[in-house]
Amino acid sequence: SNVAAENDIGTGTVYVLESLSEHPSVLPNRKILHKIGVTTRPVATRIANAEKEATYLLAPVKVVAEFEVFNIKARNIEKLLHAYFDPARAEISIKDRFGNQVQSREWFFAPINAIKESVDRLIDGTLGETLYDAKAGQIKPKP
C-alpha cells in the first residue's frame, strides 16, 4: 500500500496539470492534454511562475491531481512516466515574448484516469505489464 510508514522517506509528488492557455493547439484539447511532472517541493511552489516558463506553455496552469509516491526515486518516476506515455506526447510550439519558438515535451494526450492508473501501477509494480494505447486513451495489458 502507499501509506507512509514511520521510516518512509517521501520521495516526491507526481502532479498532473491542465493548461489554461488560450493557444489554438491547447484550447480544444484542454480536457485531455496534461503535463505530468514530479517534484519534491510543494506543487504550488513549482508552478508559481507558470506563465513565464516554456515548460508550462507560458500560461497559467491548474493542478488536476497530485499523488504522493514513497521510496521510488523522484527523477526515475518522471522518466518512467514520460517514457510510458511517449506515444501520446504532444508536440506544442509556442512563441515566447521575444518571438522565439519554445517547445515543451512534458505534455501528453492522456485522460486523468489513465495517468492515475499508471501511478498506481508504478507503485504496485505492474506498470511494466501494460502499455498506453494513445488512440484509445487507455492502459492495456501488453499483448
pLDDT per position as a tens digit, 19-44:
999 988 899 999 899 999 999 889 99
User: What sign does the CA torsion over 41, 100, 110, 74 have?
Assistant: negative
- pLDDT band per the 50, 70, 90 thresholds, residue 4: low
At 84 the pLDDT is: 97
- Assess whether pLDDT exceeds 60 at residue 87: yes
- Assess whether pLDDT exceeds 60 at residue 125: yes
Contact 111, 137 (CB under 8 A): yes
Distance CA 121, CA 116 (A): 9
Calculate what percentage of the chain has a pLDDT beyond 90: 60
| Cα–Cα separations (whole angstroms), residue 74 to 15, 41, 51, 68, 106 | 12, 11, 24, 10, 15
- Assess whether pLDDT exceeds 80 at residue 49: yes
3-state helix, strand, coil in the chain (%, to 5): 30, 35, 35
